[in-house]
Amino acid sequence: MGNETVHATRAIDAPADAVWAVVRAFDGAWHPDIVTSAVATGADGALTRRFEGSDGGFYAERLTYFSDSDRTFRYALTEGIEGCRDYRACVEVRPADAGGSIVDWCAEIRADSERLPDIASGTRVIFERGLDRLAADLPAVASPARPRRKKRAKTVRRKIDGAPWLSVLTTETATDSGPLVLFLHGIGGNATNWDAQIDALGTGARVAALDMRGYGESEPGLNQSRIEEYCEDILRVADSFDATRLILVGLSMGSWIATSFAMRHPDRLAGLVLAGGCTGMSEAEPEERDAFRAARLAPLENGETPADFASAVVDLIAGPNADAAMREALRLSTASIPAESYLDALTCFCNPVERFDFSRIGCPVLMMTGDFDRLAPPEEIRGVAGRIHDAILEDGRLPDVRFEVIAGAGHLCNLEAPEAFNGQLAAFLDRLLGAGQGAAGRLQQRQAEKRKRILDAALAEFCRNGFNGASMDAIAAAASVSKPTLYQYIGDKDALLTAVLQTGRDLLITPLETPDGSLVERLWNFSWTYADFVLRPDMLSLARLILGDAARRPDAAIAYHNAGPGKAFKGIVGFVGECVKAGQLRVDDVELAAQDLWSLILSGPRDHHLHFVEDTPDRGELLRSIGHGLRVFLKVYSTDPQVDLAALDERISRHSAEIGARKLEQA
């Protein structure tokens, strides 16, 4: 085992924003060595890109960190490179002098010693070719499309019973399932602080904004609130919506509460959005906590109420771009807080019970802060985002962390810059709530089509030359793929034969595995599916070649049996056993009964056509054989032969009439 770092840097004669607009697309479609690519959202909400390289290989990489404002992302390889044990990479675009930009691309690789040099050199080539493309031919960047306006949601109040009872702002949504997006305000706010976000989300998701205890229309608690009680309030809201999973969106103190919830109930979270803070006073030294508490208690101790010092609070939290209307809205929000509620929240906030263990976070995280936020400055929140990312990695998991700076905003970035905030929030939520599956579906369809081409080509080659005479080069050429792609999709020649025959086995057994339909209907459908498959010219040819060469190459004959007829027979045995349990068949020996079924319906016609190559199967003769075979089988094994034989006779009569009508048309 060894480690190596690969690092590539390139100066690009284009502004950093223009380069980033291309590079930030995680599908990597701009890279010259990516043939096809699609990004899909996993069950945990993380983004994974699956792509085909120009070498014919298929790879998967997972995004672990992303920041538009810092123009950087990190990712980890999850599959595709043999012998690679750990592969973590980072791309960063930064401004350079004279309006250009610098792109840094690096990877930390841990791999088997004998494979490490090849993996490192291959990585270096990929990095350099990508940077060459950017430097030589930066794709034109279209202006981003404005998001479509979602249907406006009607906001309603809901009261959550309990002690204290709580009030939430929620919407009449188009869905009553999926995670609940729950907004948590800060010390100086209430649920209405999230109006712009609720309106932007529209009716496509379940959303609610909580008036925390003692705020807005929620009751205060009987005693001093503790963080455990805030977390219990969140659970009560979730239960009232029948939501097993939550996406918490917190602001300032609300972010601290959301992170505290993540420490206690990581299994309940599908996502975490932390704006204007995270750690609160949890990592502050005692002196810092005391100073923070004293500065905010002083007005209350002097007999003032939040209405008296609201303007001073606005001066502290507002950014320089907040206009008079925004400042007045912030002042009114703070002024409306009862002094008792303000004191209660402040006391809880300044007496944390823990230092956060970020490795406990088990969901995607989006962190945002205003670039003029004095309480949660970008440098601090960027550092916390990095610590969350690293803590999850050290715990042996792949993280999913995003960090963004909201330009021009102060502490309440969702209120001061709602359009920018909502854009980041909507992209995050769309991903977690299931958006983006279409591209993955298209890639899967292309891969399925390519796999079918390979299997069709392999079958044709096996039929011409037998197993040992078949050429992998010929199969690759006939399927219009490279030889590495052939191995990537299926494997070696043995795996190809198995895959070809497995396709036939699945086709044969499907009628028996279909739970709907009577015993006779399932037997009838199986019999004709079996006849149509095994009497195909290519399948007869393959069987002749394999069996004819069995004495000289017994391994090939055994492989053919195990992968094809043997597996199909096991399916028939399973079907007979299920029918015995269901009381439809009376059988002493399940395997012998399965052999009887298989032999009775088609052994004669198949044996004939294996030897008489020029003869074409006749549907009338097949009906005679299948009908007789099923009649004998049902007479011996059916628990209700009278009913089943009557149903079989009706099937035979109808099929005979169809064959006769078809012959008249052809005549």
Best-predicted range by mean pLDDT (482-486, 514-518, 652-656): 652-656
pLDDT band at residue 528 under the 50/70/90 scheme:
confident
- C-alpha–C-alpha distance, residues 350 and 293, integer Å: 7
* CA-closest candidate to residue 345, choices 453, 244, 451, 252: 252
384: Cβ–Cβ under 8 A, 6 or more apart, which residues?
A: 278, 279, 367
pLDDT band at residue 76 under the 50/70/90 scheme:
very high
What is the token pair recorded at 416?
Answer: 């001061």
- Give the other-Cβ count within 10 Å of 379's Cβ: 8
pLDDT band at residue 608 under the 50/70/90 scheme:
confident
What is the token pair recorded at 37?
Answer: 């690519």
In the predicted model, what is the mean pLDDT of residues 136-161?
Answer: 60
* CA-closest candidate to residue 64, choices 54, 56, 74: 74
Q: Are residues 518 and 422 in the same domain?
A: no
Q: Are residues 418 and 475 in the same domain?
A: no
pLDDT band at residue 641 under the 50/70/90 scheme:
very high
What is the token pair recorded at 70?
Answer: 């810092």
State yes or no: pLDDT of 174 exceeds 60: no
Cβ(535)–Cβ(508) under 8 Å? Answer: no
Residue with tokens 């979270």: 269
In the predicted model, what is the mean pLDDT of residues 60-71?
Answer: 94
Cβ(629)–Cβ(600) under 8 Å? Answer: yes
State yes or no: pLDDT of 652 exceeds 50: yes
pLDDT band at residue 513 under the 50/70/90 scheme:
low
Residue 18 lies in a domain: yes
Residue 318 lies in a domain: yes
- C-alpha–C-alpha distance, residues 236 and 256, integer Å: 19
Last residue of a domain, which of 113, 140, 167? Answer: 140
State yes or no: pLDDT of 356 exceeds 90: yes
Cβ(281)–Cβ(292) under 8 Å? Answer: yes
Q: Are residues 168 and 187 in the same domain?
A: yes
Q: Who has greater pLDDT, 86 or 289?
A: 86
Q: Are residues 433 and 500 in the same domain?
A: no
- Position 152 scores a pLDDT of 57
Residue 148 lies in a domain: no
In the predicted model, what is the mean pLDDT of residues 274-284?
Answer: 90
Cβ(87)–Cβ(59) under 8 Å? Answer: no
Q: Are residues 109 and 67 in the same domain?
A: yes
At residue 281, the 3 state secondary structure works out as coil
- Position 498 scores a pLDDT of 74
- C-alpha–C-alpha distance, residues 419 and 428, integer Å: 14
Q: Are residues 107 and 202 in the same domain?
A: no
- Position 436 scores a pLDDT of 38
- Position 427 scores a pLDDT of 87
- Position 508 scores a pLDDT of 61
State yes or no: pLDDT of 566 exceeds 80: no
- C-alpha–C-alpha distance, residues 184 and 275, integer Å: 10
- Position 146 scores a pLDDT of 38
- C-alpha–C-alpha distance, residues 64 and 364, integer Å: 9
- Which pTM value belongs to this model? 0.64
State yes or no: pLDDT of 434 exceeds 80: no
Cβ(98)–Cβ(434) under 8 Å? Answer: no
The whole-angstrom distance between residue 296's C-alpha and the CA centroid of its chain comes to: 45
Output phi, psi for 239, to 5 deg: -65, -35
Q: Are residues 369 and 482 in the same domain?
A: no
Beta-bridge partner residues of 292: none
Tell me, what CATH number does 27's domain have? Answer: 3.30.530.20
Q: Who has greater pLDDT, 571 or 597?
A: 597
What is the token pair recorded at 164?
Answer: 């204290």
Q: For 195-212, what is each residue's pLDDT tens digit?
A: 989 888 866 678 999 999
DSSP string, 285-352: -HHHHHHHHHHHHHHHHTT--HHHHHHHHHHHH--TT--HHHHHHHHHHHHTS-HHHHHHHHHHHTS-
Q: How many CA atoms lie within 13 A of 397 on its CB side?
A: 17
Residue 149 lies in a domain: no
With a pLDDT cut of 70, the percent of the chain lying above it is 89
pLDDT band at residue 480 under the 50/70/90 scheme:
confident
pLDDT band at residue 488 under the 50/70/90 scheme:
low
Last residue of a domain, which of 77, 108, 140? Answer: 140
At residue 399, the 3 state secondary structure works out as coil
pLDDT band at residue 139 under the 50/70/90 scheme:
very low
Output phi, psi for 355, to 5 deg: -100, 130
Q: For 369-408, what is each residue's pLDDT tens digit?
A: 999 999 999 999 999 999 999 999 998 889 999 999 999 9
pLDDT band at residue 148 under the 50/70/90 scheme:
very low
Q: Are residues 431 and 495 in the same domain?
A: no
- C-alpha–C-alpha distance, residues 152 and 425, integer Å: 17
Angle between helices 565-581 and 519-534 (to 10 degrees): 170
- Position 190 scores a pLDDT of 92
pLDDT band at residue 143 under the 50/70/90 scheme:
very low
Cβ(490)–Cβ(448) under 8 Å? Answer: no
Q: Are residues 15 and 131 in the same domain?
A: yes
> Which residue type, as a one-letter code, is found at position 494?
D
- Position 147 scores a pLDDT of 41
Q: Are residues 121 and 204 in the same domain?
A: no
Q: Are residues 414 and 511 in the same domain?
A: no
Mean pLDDT score of the chain? 85
Residue 443 lies in a domain: no
Tell me, what CATH number does 659's domain have? Answer: 1.10.357.10
Structural domain for 315, as ranges: 155-437
Residue 304 lies in a domain: yes
- Position 435 scores a pLDDT of 42
Angle between helices 619-637 and 590-611 (to 10 degrees): 160
State yes or no: pLDDT of 32 exceeds 60: yes
Residue 442 lies in a domain: no
Write the burial class of residue 564 (CB in 10 Å: 0-12 exposed, 13-18 middle, 19+ buried).
buried
How many domains are there within the chain? 3
Last residue of a domain, which of 110, 140, 170? Answer: 140
Tell me, what CATH number does 397's domain have? Answer: 3.40.50.1820
Residue 554 lies in a domain: yes
Q: Are residues 130 and 181 in the same domain?
A: no
